[in-house]
Amino acid sequence: MPESAEPQSRTVDDHTPGASGQQLPPSAAAEVDRKHLQTAVTWGRIREDEFAELAQTYLHYQELAELFDAGPAPSPDPDLATWATTILQLESPDLLELLNLDLADEALLDRWGSSTTTEKNGSASVPQALAQLFATRLGSHAGLDYGHAGLNHTYGYLLSPVPTEFGRKRHRWTSQEVAHTLGIPGKWPLSQGPSPQQGMLAEVTAVLESVAPLNRPDAWSSPATATATAHALAMKVLRELPANGESTNGTRWTARTRVLRRADLTAEQASKGDQLLLVYSLSVDAGLERYITAFPVSAAWYAELKDPDENPHLKYNASLGA
């Protein structure tokens, strides 16, 4: 990466007070995150001439994630939903505008199921304040360990500072991992220019519906009019695995795992890095199929993918909800 591609005013190691006046905590993973961005250039997810601009975007969401991780000042009864809204208004009003657009689209929200907000090791995959904001706006209970899978997958993971065994969840958005598997250039799904027509979740859902549609009779279409929805390249479904199971309380579910590869890539070209896309969806008690998550996987991971065993279980943070 040429030295000239480095951001001139700030770097991914800088930490300054945000508009809220709160000092952001130091990032212990700054060097790891920098290397992740550089790897994205090496593997071709990010062009060298895009690095400086994308690094600024990355820095913004890295700092915002750290701010959410730090949380508000201690108080006897903190209103985390209000605090989260205030932070977004001050630090990232454009992101709040996208979130508000998505929250206003009930048909869009119904395309997604439920997912947990914690990892198996107990760490929060979605910041608690953000999870409470989602729950409050959706009219659901704020103290649950699961929530709306679409909001968790997009805004929640974008602002998730907690590392998992598979890396930081926000990398799928901040270093163009998902966009690259789909062949979408630029800062998708976060760059829509002034007066956006739809939110981040709508952008992601519209693309998923074009490459891995849900098996359900009702239709949802993107509300974008003035701004065209991003278009993915043609995709080839490499494998589709169904799974059926039943919870301890008798709730039956059917899951579907699909792994896709861009049609313009050969198997050899797709063998380096995470260039395949996994899409996981779920229906509960013979209800409508809903998306749970979508994320990049490697060819090596795909080679180890096995058929469902005799005791199938929910995967990828899926939840049956209430």
Residue 65, pLDDT above cutoff 80: yes
Residue 225, pLDDT above cutoff 60: no
Q: How far apart are CA 8 and CA 14, in angstroms?
A: 12
pLDDT above 90 covers a percentage of the chain that reads: 47
Q: How far apart are CA 273 and CA 150, in angstroms?
A: 25
> DSSP character for 21?
-
- Residue-level pLDDT at 16: 38
Neighbour-count burial of 40, counting CB atoms closer than 10 A to its CB (0-12 exposed, 13-18 middle, 19+ buried): buried
pLDDT higher at 26 or 135: 135
Confidence of residue 4 (pLDDT cuts 50, 70, 90): very low
pLDDT higher at 142 or 107: 107
Both tokens assigned to 126: 């979605």
- Residue-level pLDDT at 1: 28
Residue 2, pLDDT above cutoff 80: no
Mean residue pLDDT of the chain comes to 81
Q: How far apart are CA 243 and CA 61, in angstroms?
A: 36
For the ranges 22-26, 71-75, 276-280, the one whose mean pLDDT is highest: 276-280
Least confident of 2-11, 177-186, 214-223, 232-241: 2-11
- Residue-level pLDDT at 33: 61
Q: How far apart are CA 45 and CA 201, in angstroms?
A: 21
pTM of the model: 0.85
Average pLDDT over every residue of 90-110? 94
- Residue-level pLDDT at 162: 73
- Residue-level pLDDT at 161: 77
